[in-house]
Amino acid sequence: MTNFLQATFAVFRKDITAELRSREIIFAMMVFSMLVIVIFNFALELDPATRKEVTSGVLWATFAFAGTLGLNRSMAVEKDRGCLDGLLLAPVDRSAIYFGKVLSNLAFMFIVEAFVLPLYSALYNVNLFNPGLLLVILLGSIGYTAVGTLLASMAVQARTRDVLLPILLFPIAIPVLLSAVKASTGFLNGVEMAEIWPSLNLLIVYDVIFTAVAFMVFDAVVEE
């Protein structure tokens, strides 16, 4: 167990250190998110009430697109430099590598989300600093990253990996995105908790199931 945790945090620490130097992934994700938000802002010239209605959809579309970009780059860095083999040669349970990558991808997602929320609030004049919404973002990001990291490690083996990841990821992530949008809308519109709970429960179940599935199949996915 000690070796497992040590390897998980070694992968996480390595990814964060490398990213702080290159800023390759986070910068691309931030620019992309900013563009998505600005484009939506000009495309949807809506009255304030309607803006509040579409906020969750725009936010989660931004997170999903930017997240896919980050997931792709994070695994491509390992593959292009042959480092994935270096990781797989380590005498640790390979799911430690998976959890290390999930933690770093999650950290990149959170950084981008922390950038997007104030930007969105300023552009759309909507207050997004709602504890309930932050909880939904946490749960949704975990689910999206858990399944995204697994699929990115699968897609990275293919020549068409840039196209393949969204094709694989979006259909599988539909439950998490729909629940996240529904729960976010509920919190932003001050809906009763009883109406929000089913979506929150679905998010929690999705997080647990996909983390468990990824833990079981990651070894088979990365092996030749």
Partner 1 sequence: MIEVKKLIKRFGMKSVLRGVDFRVERGEFVALLGPNGAGKTTFLRILSSLARPSLGEVKVAGYSLPNEAAQVRARLGVVSHMPLLYGDLTAQENLEFYARMYGITEYAIRITEVLDMVGLASRRNDLVRTFSRGMAQRLAIGRAVLHDPEVILFDEPYTGLDQDASSMLDEVLKSVAAQGRTVVMTSHDLARAEDLATRFDILTRGVIAASSSREALGSNNLLTFYKQALAA
The contacts of residue 119 (CB under 8 Å, 6+ apart) are 33, 34, 37
Q: What is the rounded radius of gyration, in angstroms, for the C-alpha atoms of the chain?
A: 18
Choose which of 61, 88, 107, 111 interacts with partner 1 (CB under 8 A): 88
Choose which of 82, 131, 171, 190 interacts with partner 1 (CB under 8 A): 82
The yes or no reply on residue 161 touching partner 1 (CB under 8 A) is: no
Choose which of 28, 54, 90, 217 interacts with partner 1 (CB under 8 A): 90
Angstrom CA distances, 124 to 31, 47, 121, 141, stand at 18, 10, 5, 22
Q: Which is nearer to partner 1, 19 or 207 (CB)?
A: 19
Residue 124 φ/ψ, nearest 5 degrees:
-100, -5
The residue range among 1-9, 48-56, 188-196, 200-208 that interacts with partner 1, by the rule CB under 8 A, is 1-9
Specify the length of the chain in residues: 224
Tell me the closest approach of the beta carbon of residue 18 to partner 1, in angstroms: 4
Contact criterion met (CB below 8 Å) for 108 and 25: yes
The yes or no reply on residue 221 touching partner 1 (CB under 8 A) is: no
Q: Which helix (H) or strand (E) holds 115?
A: helix 94-124
The residue range among 78-86, 124-132, 182-190, 201-209 that interacts with partner 1, by the rule CB under 8 A, is 78-86
- CB-based burial of residue 15 (10 Å sphere; 0-12 exposed, 13-18 middle, 19+ buried)? buried
Footprint (CB under 8 A) of partner 1, residues 3-62: 3, 6-7, 9-11, 13-14, 17-19, 21-22
The yes or no reply on residue 216 touching partner 1 (CB under 8 A) is: no
Q: Which is nearer to partner 1, 21 or 159 (CB)?
A: 21
Angstrom CA distances, 170 to 102, 185, 195, 208, stand at 17, 20, 25, 18
Contact criterion met (CB below 8 Å) for 92 and 4: yes
Site string for partner 1, 91-130 (x = CB under 8 A): xxx-------------------------------------
The yes or no reply on residue 86 touching partner 1 (CB under 8 A) is: yes
Contact criterion met (CB below 8 Å) for 176 and 140: yes
Choose which of 45, 47, 192, 223 interacts with partner 1 (CB under 8 A): 223
The yes or no reply on residue 83 touching partner 1 (CB under 8 A) is: yes
Cα gap 151→134, rounded to integer Å: 25
Which residues would be at the binding site for partner 1 (CB under 8 A)? 3, 6-7, 9-11, 13-14, 17-19, 21-22, 81-83, 85-93, 223-224
